[in-house]
A and B are shown apart, each in its own frame.
Chain A
């Protein structure tokens, strides 16, 4: 049963600490998305990659967020330094042709 995996599932950290979230896309999918979901803003696209190349990261605060895809099986999202307003659920999704996205279980981040 192919699915997107994300780690960690829950993360509690203190303001100013670095946070790294990881995602393993479905094997064979060439597009990976990072989303953030909050009650107030809904689902926001932060960044996405196609064939490991970043295509759009305009939704991401550049000064503290970074996204990379070091290989086809791993995508990472880092926040440094973290702030309380970053508290949210972060979803990774992957898609293969044509373009249907499948979501991972999410990482629930709490920044104190």
Chain B
């Protein structure tokens, strides 16, 4: 079992819809969780970080964390074609010696 798992997709949503991206992780004592966006041929770009259970909102993006279920998600409201990219989930795992693990990414396409 991988430390961080994401559905690879591809996920397609129409413009204006809500895109939901999901991530599960294996380390129960993980403390820090991140979502990165990566456009084709570019480097990963930080979108959100979340440290506590619950929701964290930033503009059209909402990160949701449920430590009991070892689950973190990213919702993108009013999806735009410019949101089309690969979304990477990252977890800082204490048991791994404060090592960062990235998921393999979910490819999102927003259809105009």
A residues within 8 Å of B by Cβ?
33, 42-43, 45, 48, 55-56, 91, 98-106
- Dominant secondary structure of chain B at its interface with chain A: strand
Closest residue to B32 on the A side, CB-wise? A99
Number of A-B contacts (CB under 8 A): 41
Contacts of A101 in B (CB 8 A): 34, 46, 90, 100
Q: When the two chains form their complex, are residues B104 and A103 in contact, meaning their CB atoms are under 8 A apart? A: no
Question: Least Cβ distance of A13 to chain B in Å?
Answer: 20
A106 near B32 with CB under 8 A, answer no
Query: Is there an interface contact between A42 and B34, defined as CB atoms closer than 8 Å?
Result: no
B side interface size, CB within 8 A? 21
**19 residue pairs bridging A and B, Cβ less than 8 Å apart:** A33-B100, A42-B102, A42-B104, A42-B105, A43-B88, A43-B102, A45-B100, A55-B97, A99-B32, A100-B34, A100-B46, A101-B34, A101-B46, A101-B90, A101-B100, A103-B43, A104-B43, A105-B42, A106-B43
Interface membership of chain B positions 89-112, coded 1 if the CB is closer than 8 angstroms to chain A and 0 otherwise: 010100001111111110000000
Given A42-B105, A43-B88, A98-B32, A56–B97 Cβ distance below 8 Å?
A: yes
With A43-B105, A99-B32, A102-B46 already in contact, 13 other A-B pairs whose C-beta atoms are closer than 8 Å:
A33-B100, A42-B104, A43-B102, A45-B101, A56-B97, A56-B99, A91-B43, A99-B100, A100-B46, A103-B43, A103-B44, A103-B45, A106-B43
